[in-house]
């Protein structure tokens, strides 16, 4: 008779043999499945997800009334436009498909005052045309622009908004159609930023002065800019400088006040506002630009001041930068945030705005960059 020990030994051997055969069968099955999947999909299966990068470039405007565009490296730039009739700023710029429109003010050499200019291109900046002095003499600046479907919405001072077809020319001059709110009696009023949710629904923000007080203003359109109606309540001593639209109802504005700047948020399309952040700034500049990528975003102001959010603007935290230059523009491009400003300031962050470094590009370092946007080509 077999002993109990020999029986256990034989059972152990059989068990190990069965486990080994099962492992081999499973391994061959996995390799076969992987091979079939590779052939059927004409691709290699990889469990590591990768972010798809689009072919986006950077477009910068500066105080010599010039426009620069980057190559795909985002480090090498070429100037694609310069207007030689005096000095000026391109404050607002917008891109849609191959259309580029910029607006600003030029002060011609030897003349007092300024002229309101619009530059536009239908071929991604390969060629530009210039329309001069779009507004009447009581206007001093064009501040903001938005390309909406086949129309261009432009905001300026005296609370004027004009809507016109892109590149519609008459004797090489753009013919504006004024829409929206009439100008206030007080000339110290302006529209500073325009954004749209879609081709029909959009907002514009600005401010006006009345009895030594400044009021933030926000207007809404539901017909592509043909008509506008006032949405503001009683925000006093808080001019609205910049706007970011999350969706139809959730809006963020950057402001300027007596002691610095603040960031407000609305959940009902601009009817009511809640203060989400306030900072005593070292300069009187307000929040010049706001940009978000999903929940993460930044807002920039004067004297090197930058704050960031990770929750769609519910809370904001200041970020220390190694600069005191005014920051005028910011954008998001292929996973990075960029900022530009005075004295050639050009910085990048690859970690959601937590840390920043200078961009080593071939751009001039002795001029002020007023705006930066990302364009898809």
Percentage of the chain exceeding pLDDT 70: 71
Phi/psi at 137 (5° precision):
-65, -15
The topology under which CATH files domain 63-232 is Neuraminidase (2.120.10)
- pLDDT tens, 264-279? 999 999 989 999 999 8
Q: What pLDDT, on a 0 to 100 scale, did the predictor assign at position 113?
A: 58
Q: What pLDDT, on a 0 to 100 scale, did the predictor assign at position 119?
A: 87
DSSP per-residue letters across 18-34: HHHHHHHHHHHHHHHHH
Judge whether residue 282 has pLDDT over 70. no
User: Torsion angle, CA of 6/9/14/18, rounded to 10 degrees?
Assistant: 170
pLDDT band at 203 (very low <50, low <70, confident <90, very high): very high
Question: Residue ranges of the domains in the chain?
Answer: 1-40, 63-232
Q: What pLDDT, on a 0 to 100 scale, did the predictor assign at position 114?
A: 63
Whole-number Å distance between alpha carbons of 283 and 254: 15
| Highest mean pLDDT (candidates 59-73, 116-130, 225-239) | 59-73
| Highest mean pLDDT (candidates 167-171, 173-177, 258-262, 325-329) | 325-329
Q: How many residues appear in the chain?
A: 377
What burial class does residue 229 get, using C-beta atoms within 10 Å of its C-beta: 0-12 exposed, 13-18 middle, 19+ buried? exposed
pLDDT band at 93 (very low <50, low <70, confident <90, very high): very high
Of 117-131, 150-164, 305-319, give the lowest mean pLDDT range. Answer: 150-164
- pLDDT tens, 334-377? 999 999 999 999 999 999 999 999 999 999 988 999 999 998 75
Q: What pLDDT, on a 0 to 100 scale, did the predictor assign at position 351?
A: 97
Q: With residue 4 as reference, give the H or E element that holds it.
A: helix 4-41
What is the rounded average pLDDT for all residues in the chain? 78
pLDDT band at 55 (very low <50, low <70, confident <90, very high): low
């Amino acid at each position: 008779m077999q002993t109990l020990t020999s029986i256990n030994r034989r059972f152990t051997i059989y068990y190990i043999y069965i486990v080994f055969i099962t492992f081999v069968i499973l391994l061959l099955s996995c390799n076969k499945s992987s091979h079939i999947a590779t052939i059927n999909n004409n691709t290699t299966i990889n469990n590591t997800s990768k972010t798809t990068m689009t072919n986006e470039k950077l477009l910068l405007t500066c105080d010599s009334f010039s426009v620069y565009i980057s190559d795909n490296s985002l480090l090498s730039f070429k100037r694609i436009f310069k207007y030689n009739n005096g000095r000026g700023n391109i404050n607002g710029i917008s891109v849609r498909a191959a259309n580029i429109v910029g607006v600003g003010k030029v002060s011609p050499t030897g003349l007092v005052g300024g002229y309101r200019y619009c530059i536009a291109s239908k071929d991604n900046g390969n060629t530009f045309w210039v329309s001069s002095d779009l507004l009447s003499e009581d206007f001093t600046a064009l501040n903001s622009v938005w390309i909406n479907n086949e129309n261009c919405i432009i905001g300026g001072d005296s609370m004027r908004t004009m809507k016109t077809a892109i590149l519609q020319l008459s004797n090489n001059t753009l013919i504006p159609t004024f829409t929206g709110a009439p100008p206030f009696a007080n000339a110290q009023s302006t529209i500073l930023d325009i954004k749209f949710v879609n081709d029909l629904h959009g907002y514009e923000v600005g401010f006006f002065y009345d009895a030594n007080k400044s009021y933030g203003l926000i207007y809404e359109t539901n017909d592509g800019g043909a008509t506008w109606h006032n949405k503001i309540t009683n925000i006093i001593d808080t001019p609205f400088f910049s706007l970011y639209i999350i969706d139809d109802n959730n809006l963020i504005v950057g402001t300027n006040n007596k002691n610095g700047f603040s960031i407000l948020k609305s959940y009902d399309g601009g009817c009511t506002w809640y203060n989400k952040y306030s900072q005593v700034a070292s300069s009187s500049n307000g929040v010049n630009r706001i940009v978000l990528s999903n929940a993460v975003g930044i807002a920039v102001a004067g004297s090197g001041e930058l704050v960031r959010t990770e929750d769609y603007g519910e809370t904001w935290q200041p970020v220390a930068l190694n600069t005191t230059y005014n920051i005028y523009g910011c954008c998001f491009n292929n996973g990075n945030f960029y900022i530009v400003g005075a004295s050639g300031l050009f910085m990048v962050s690859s970690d959601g705005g937590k840390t920043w470094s200078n961009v080593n590009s071939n751009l001039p370092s002795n001029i002020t960059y007023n705006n930066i946007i990302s364009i898809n080509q």
